[in-house]
Chain A
Amino acid sequence: MTMLRKWPAFVGLAAMTVNLAAPAYAFDFKGAHPVLTATPIKHLIVIFQENVSFDHYFGTYPHASNPAGEPKFYAAPFTPWVNNLEQDSLLTNNPNLNSANGVGATNPFRLDRTQAATADQNHNYTPEQQAEDDGRMDLFPKYTGTASTGGAGAFGTTGQVMGYYDGNTVTALWNYAQHFAMSDNAYGAGFGPSTPGAIEVVSGQTNGYQSAVGTKSAAYVADGQGGYTDIGDEDPAGDACSSTTQQMRMLGHNIGDLLNQNDISWGSFMGGFDLSLTNANGTTGCGRSSISTVTGTTADYIPHHAWFQYYASTANPTHARPASVQAIGHSNDPNGALDPANHEYDVNDFYAAVEHGNFPAVAYIKAPAYQDAHPGYSDPLDEQAFIVQLVNFLEQRPEWRETAIVINYDDSDGWYDHQYVSPTSASYSSADQLNGTAICGKGTQPDGLLGLPVNGRCGPGPRLPFMVISPYAKPNYVSHEYITQASVVRFIEDNWLHGERLGGGSSDATAGSLMDLFDFRTPFLNEPLFLDTQSGEPVDHPWPFLLSARVP
Chain B
Amino acid sequence: MRLGFSGAGALASLMLVGAPAPAVAADPAPAAAAAATGVAARGVSEPQALNAHAYSLRLPKVGPLSVMAQLGGRLFHDRRLSGSGRLSCASCHDPERAYGPPGAGAVVLGGAAGHASGYRAVPSLRYLYRQPPFTIGPDTTADSDNAPVLAQQAQRSLGAPRALKSALDTQAAAANLVPQGGLFWDGRVNTLQQQADGPLFNPIEMGADPQAVLGLLQSAYGDALKALFGPTLFRSPHLALDEAMFAIARYQIESADFHPFTSKFDAWLAGRARFTPAELRGYEAFNDPARGNCAACHLDQPTRDGLPPLFTDFQYEALGVPRNAAIPANRDPTYFDLGLCGPFRTDLASQRRYCGMFLTPTLRNVATRRVFFHNGTFHSLRMVLDWYVNRDLSPARFYPRDAAGHVIAYDDLPPADRANVDTIDAPFDRHPGDAPALSSAEIGDVIAFLGTLTDGYPAFLHRSR
Residues of chain A whose beta carbon lies under 8 Å from any beta carbon of chain B: 4, 10-15, 17-18, 21-22, 24-25, 50, 65, 67-70, 91-92, 103-107, 109-110, 112-115, 122-124, 146-159, 179, 193-194, 232-233, 243, 280-283, 289-291, 293, 296-299, 302, 304-305, 369, 374, 376-377, 389, 392-393, 396, 471, 475, 522, 524-528, 530-533, 539-540, 542-543, 545-546, 549-551
Instruction: Give chain A nearest CB distance to B180 CB in angstroms.
Output: 13
Say whether A17 contacts B145, CB under 8 Å.
no
Would you give the 0/1 interface string for B1-37, flagging 1 where the beta carbon is closer than 8 Å to chain A?
A: 1111111111011111111011111010110110011
Residues of chain B whose beta carbon lies under 8 Å from any beta carbon of chain A: 1-10, 12-19, 21-25, 27, 29-30, 32-33, 36-37, 40, 58, 61, 64, 66-69, 128-133, 141-148, 183, 190-194, 227-230, 232-233, 235-236, 238-239, 242-243, 246, 249-250, 253-254, 303-307
Instruction: Give chain B nearest CB distance to A357 CB in angstroms.
Output: 18
Say whether A153 contacts B250, CB under 8 Å.
yes
Say whether B10 contacts A107, CB under 8 Å.
no
Instruction: Write out the residue numbers on chain B whose beta carbons fall within 8 Å of the beta carbon of A123.
Output: 145
Say whether B191 contacts A546, CB under 8 Å.
no
A67 to B304, CA, bound (A): 36
* CB closest chain-B residue, reference A12: B4
Given A155-B193, A528-B16, 12 new contacts (CB under 8 A): A14-B13, A65-B230, A105-B236, A150-B133, A152-B192, A156-B194, A158-B238, A193-B143, A281-B305, A282-B37, A293-B61, A543-B8
Say whether A304 contacts B143, CB under 8 Å.
yes
Instruction: Write out the residue numbers on chain B whose beta carbons fall within 8 Å of the beta carbon of A289.
Output: 305
A214 to B254, CA, bound (A): 45
Say whether A281 contacts B27, CB under 8 Å.
no
Known interface pairs A114-B250, A124-B145, A233-B143; A532-B1 also in contact (CB < 8 Å): no
Say whether B68 contacts A527, CB under 8 Å.
no
Instruction: Give chain A nearest CB distance to B73 CB in angstroms.
Output: 13
Say whether B246 contacts A155, CB under 8 Å.
yes
Instruction: Write out the residue numbers on chain A whose beta carbons fall within 8 Å of the beta carbon of B64.
Output: 69
Instruction: Write out the residue numbers on chain A whose beta carbons fall within 8 Å of the beta carbon of B303.
Output: 281, 297
**Can you identify 26 A-B contacts, CB atoms within 8 angstroms?**
A10-B4, A15-B3, A18-B14, A65-B228, A68-B67, A91-B232, A106-B236, A110-B230, A114-B69, A122-B145, A124-B145, A149-B191, A151-B191, A158-B242, A291-B58, A296-B132, A299-B142, A369-B142, A392-B24, A525-B3, A527-B1, A527-B9, A530-B19, A533-B23, A533-B25, A551-B1
Instruction: Write out the residue numbers on chain A whose beta carbons fall within 8 Å of the beta carbon of B141.
Output: 243
Say whether A551 contacts B2, CB under 8 Å.
yes
Say whether A540 contacts B16, CB under 8 Å.
yes
A540 to B32, CA, bound (A): 31
Instruction: Write out the residue numbers on chain B whose beta carbons fall within 8 Å of the beta carbon of A65.
Output: 227-228, 230
* CB closest chain-B residue, reference A68: B67
Instruction: Write out the residue numbers on chain B whose beta carbons fall within 8 Å of the beta carbon of A471.
Output: 3
Say whether B36 contacts A281, CB under 8 Å.
yes
Instruction: Select A159's contact among B142, B143, B236, B253, beta carbons within 8 Å.
Output: B236
Instruction: Give chain B nearest CB distance to A530 CB in angstroms.
Output: 4
Known interface pairs A151-B133, A527-B1; A110-B229 also in contact (CB < 8 Å): yes
Instruction: Write out the residue numbers on chain A whose beta carbons fall within 8 Å of the beta carbon of B228.
Output: 65, 67, 110, 112
Say whether B142 contacts A377, CB under 8 Å.
yes
Known interface pairs A106-B239, A124-B145, A280-B29; A70-B66 also in contact (CB < 8 Å): yes
Instruction: Give chain A nearest CB distance to B31 CB in angstroms.
Output: 9
Say whether A526 contacts B37, CB under 8 Å.
no
Instruction: Write out the residue numbers on chain A whose beta carbons fall within 8 Å of the beta carbon of B183.
Output: 152
Instruction: Give chain B nearest CB distance to A437 CB in angstroms.
Output: 21
- Residue from B2, B8, B23, B304 having most chain A Cβ neighbours under 10 A: B2
Q: 5 tightest A-B contacts by CB?
A: A14-B10, A14-B4, A148-B147, A280-B29, A157-B242
